[in-house]
Amino acid sequence: MNLGLALRKQGKLERAKEVFETAIRIKPNLVTARALLGFDSLTAGRLRDAAEHLEAAHAGNASNTEVNHWLGIVYYELGRYSEAAAQLEAAIRTKPEDPDILYYLTAAYSKAAGQSRNRLLGIAPESARAHQAMAERASASGWKDQALEEYQKAAELGPGILGLQGELGDLHASAARFAEAEKAYRSELEKRSGHASLNFRCGEVILKQGRPEEAFTFLNRGMELDPALIDSYFQLGQRLSEEGKFDLAEKTFSQLTGPETPIQTSLLAHHRLAEILRAQGKKKEASQHEKAFKRITRQLEKAAKRASKSQPK
């Protein structure tokens, strides 16, 4: 354990991680090792790993303020807002003027957002988190210029704040400033390379700039990290098709026809590809996808019949 802490102080994080992982195999509820592994997983965007380690640390010491703080952030990122609020409330009792904790508490308490935001601004009005909160409020109100100004102030004051560049990227993307959005997403990914949604969003804005091969690297990375993003992948192809960007739509749907793709999604992708190609007069290519669509349909029908026969009468 002491070796891991020493290595961490020397900046040898990967070696320290190995030492901590060895330590928790011997003693699973070792609070300090679990807490540091959880924090590093959070920083890298590996949220489920972070939750596992920090929950174990919390089980070992429920009053550890840092664990409460970090676990609250993990729950917030996972969309478990009531649990996030409970952890952040525990942390704020011993650190009542911490801007970072107050920011996440504000976000978790959506129904009490105004009151929580005022608390943050009153305690640390010139903190990075305060400017980030004001940026989010401006963005939600449609005041994009003001939101951009506040995000820039927040970035200047807190360049290492997790999520900040990602939100700035979202703002740029919503205004079709795709190059600026890409820059912000890439900056965030330098800190959180394992964040599925960030990879996907970065790939989307790169694709909209007409660089499909580079874009698919990010999009596929996002889907590998979170297979649930396959629905977003399909919807991206749909939007591109509706916008008349048939070449990009074709390339996007083609990514969803491989053997690793769930069969229902592959079926729909072949169907959309057949429609897009036929509309462009590419009858031969369209026919190939129509045949694939029919082949998969027959496979599904046979599977359904087998399942029906196996059911007890």
Q: What is the CATH number of the domain that holds 77?
A: 1.25.40.10
10 occurs within a structural domain: yes
- Model pTM above 0.95: no
Number of domains in the chain: 1
Cα–Cα distance, 224 to 51 (Å, whole number): 19
- For 12, the domain range is 1-110
Tokens encoding 244: 């008349």
56 occurs within a structural domain: yes
Chain center to CA of 234: 17
Cα–Cα distance, 230 to 217 (Å, whole number): 14
User: 288 Cβ partners below 8 Å, 6+ apart?
Assistant: none
145 occurs within a structural domain: no
16 occurs within a structural domain: yes
Residue 83, CB-side half-sphere exposure with 13 Å CA sphere? 13
3-state secondary structure of 284: helix
pLDDT tens for the chain, residues 1 to 313 = 566 566 666 676 676 676 666 776 777 777 888 888 888 889 889 999 999 999 999 999 999 999 999 999 999 999 888 899 999 999 999 999 999 999 999 889 875 577 678 888 999 999 999 999 999 889 988 898 999 999 999 999 998 898 999 999 999 999 999 999 999 999 999 999 999 999 999 999 999 999 999 999 999 999 999 999 999 999 999 999 999 999 999 999 999 998 888 899 999 999 999 999 999 999 999 999 999 999 999 988 888 888 777 666 5
